[in-house]
């Protein structure tokens, strides 16, 4: 089922299309400060790792509250910040921000990177005081190909396809937690926050997952293009975004049932809540301007989804001699039309999953 392609390498236009991610990171600033206070002063160096940091301002915003809170506790001990992400991350842009006017570089703060996958080890044993991971761990470890006609995303899958993907998602979450359990030092904290899902009896599979109407709009445009012979139906039938937005129960379950995880972590908090601003429509503020509303949604989908769509749907699925770029252009134009014609119908709803764990 999985192949060796990472699920998110090469996300495009990150800083421009990541208002929702920035909001999530900033929402947790108070929690980050509080965790640093609870960790307290350390002896040699205070070490923060931000897993799945991305290339944008949110990577700086994720660590700035930790630096500020630690400096208030201890003005002299060095601080080490490690930004951890995949090889394809735009590292140059990130370190320009880190060292620029909105960055955090200062005496006795060193900044570095860990390049790899957070489903593998990214730091030395017992070396991390505070680990954070924002809007990243809902991406599975690998691109997913399933026999899954009728939907391009996890929450609408049925039968065996749903069960296979659920197993993959659970294994990935366990793998992520196992790695962090080794890397955190005793008394350290892990804060993970990403898109989540909530129970909803009226929904397929009994859950309402973040972005459901956006993914269904993507699905309906792709299906329309397959019906017109522009995308190969067989490729579409096997295409699924490699994401899984957990419910609080799914996030908690392995921490209670896997003996090594239960021993490694104390659960401080696991919850799924609506986003504090615009939970029912990310771009509600501009709904009165349909052209702008559509532009923002298309930018949003391109931002998180283009590399996946291009590699897994447009390139292998471009039919009748058309190029993948032509198919991509037609896809985004049609998606934009959906948003212009019916503002609100395909609105992006957002629930945040937040997990706070203390390493025993």
Ligand X SMILES: C[S@@+](CC[C@H](N)C(=O)[O-])C[C@H]1O[C@@H](n2cnc3c(N)ncnc32)[C@H](O)[C@@H]1O
Positions in the binding site for ligand X (CB under 6 A): 8, 11, 18, 21, 25, 52-54, 56, 58-59, 85-86, 89, 117-119, 134-136, 139, 141
| DSSP, res 12 | -
Mark out the alpha helices in the chain (DSSP H runs): 19-27, 29-39, 57-73, 91-99, 159-183, 212-227, 233-238, 248-257, 259-264, 290-309, 315-317, 324-341
Q: Which is nearer to ligand X, 194 or 255 (CB)?
A: 194
Min separation Cβ 114 and ligand X, Å: 9
Among the listed residues 212, 270, 274, 217, the one whose alpha carbon sits nearest the alpha carbon of residue 243:
212
Min separation Cβ 54 and ligand X, Å: 3
Among the listed residues 273, 100, 217, 240, the one whose alpha carbon sits nearest the alpha carbon of residue 161:
240
Min separation Cβ 193 and ligand X, Å: 8
Which tokens go with 164?
């296979």
Min separation Cβ 131 and ligand X, Å: 12
CB contact at 8 A, 24 and 62? no
Secondary structure of residue 135 in the 3-state scheme: coil
Min separation Cβ 77 and ligand X, Å: 26
Residue sitting closest to ligand X (CB): 54
Question: Residue 192, CB half-sphere, CA atoms under 13 Å: how many?
Answer: 26
Q: Which is nearer to ligand X, 11 or 123 (CB)?
A: 11
Q: Which is nearer to ligand X, 96 or 266 (CB)?
A: 96
Q: Which is nearer to ligand X, 48 or 231 (CB)?
A: 48
Separation of alpha carbons 271 and 351, rounded Å: 10
Q: In 10 A of CB 16, how many CB atoms?
A: 12
Min separation Cβ 23 and ligand X, Å: 9
Q: Which is nearer to ligand X, 171 or 220 (CB)?
A: 171
Which tokens go with 200?
């909803």
Which tokens go with 218?
């993507």
Min separation Cβ 145 and ligand X, Å: 17
Which tokens go with 198?
């909530």
Q: Which is nearer to ligand X, 12 or 324 (CB)?
A: 12
Separation of alpha carbons 311 and 326, rounded Å: 14
Min separation Cβ 18 and ligand X, Å: 5
CB contact at 8 A, 182 and 266? no
Q: Which is nearer to ligand X, 231 or 306 (CB)?
A: 306
Q: Which is nearer to ligand X, 66 or 327 (CB)?
A: 66
Instruction: Give strand pairing partners of 82.
Output: 49, 112
Q: Which is nearer to ligand X, 135 or 272 (CB)?
A: 135
**How far apart, in Å, are the Cα atoms of 14 and each of 21, 57, 59, 165, 304?**
10, 9, 11, 27, 8
């Amino acid at each position: 089922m999985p192949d060796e392609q990472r699920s998110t390498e090469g996300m495009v236009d990150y800083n421009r299309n990541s208002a929702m991610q920035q909001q999530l990171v900033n929402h947790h600033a108070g929690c980050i400060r509080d965790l640093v206070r609870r960790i307290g002063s350390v002896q040699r160096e205070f070490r923060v790792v931000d897993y799945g940091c991305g290339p944008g301002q949110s990577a700086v915003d994720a660590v700035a509250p930790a630096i500020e809170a630690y400096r208030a506790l201890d003005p002299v001990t060095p601080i080490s910040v490690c930004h951890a992400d995949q090889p394809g991350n735009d590292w140059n842009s990130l370190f320009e921000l880190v060292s620029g006017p909105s960055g955090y570089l200062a005496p006795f703060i060193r900044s570095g990177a860990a390049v790899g996958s957070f489903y593998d080890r990214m730091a030395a044993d017992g070396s991390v005081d505070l680990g954070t991971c924002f809007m990243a761990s809902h991406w599975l470890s690998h691109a997913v190909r399933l026999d899954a006609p009728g939907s391009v995303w996890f929450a609408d899958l049925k039968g065996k396809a749903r069960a296979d993907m659920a197993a993959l998602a659970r294994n990935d979450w366990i793998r992520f937690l196992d790695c962090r359990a080794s890397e955190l030092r005793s008394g350290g904290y892990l804060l993970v926050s990403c898109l989540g899902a909530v129970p909803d009896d009226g929904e397929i599979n009994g859950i309402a997952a973040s972005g459901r109407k956006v993914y269904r709009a993507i699905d309906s445009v792709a299906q329309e293009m397959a019906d017109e012979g522009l995308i190969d139906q067989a490729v579409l039938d096997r295409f699924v975004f490699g994401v899984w937005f957990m419910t609080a129960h799914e996030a908690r379950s392995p921490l209670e049932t896997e003996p090594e995880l239960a021993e490694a972590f104390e659960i401080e908090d696991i919850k799924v809540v609506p986003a504090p601003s615009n939970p029912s429509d990310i771009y509600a503020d501009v709904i009165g301007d349909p052209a702008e509303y559509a532009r923002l949604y298309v930018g949003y989908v391109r931002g998180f989804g283009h590399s996946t769509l291009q590699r897994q749907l447009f390139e292998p699925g471009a039919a009748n001699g058309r190029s993948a770029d032509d198919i991509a252009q037609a896809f985004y134009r049609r998606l934009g039309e959906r948003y212009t014609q019916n503002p609100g119908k395909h609105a992006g709803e957002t629930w945040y999953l937040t997990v706070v764990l203390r390493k025993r």
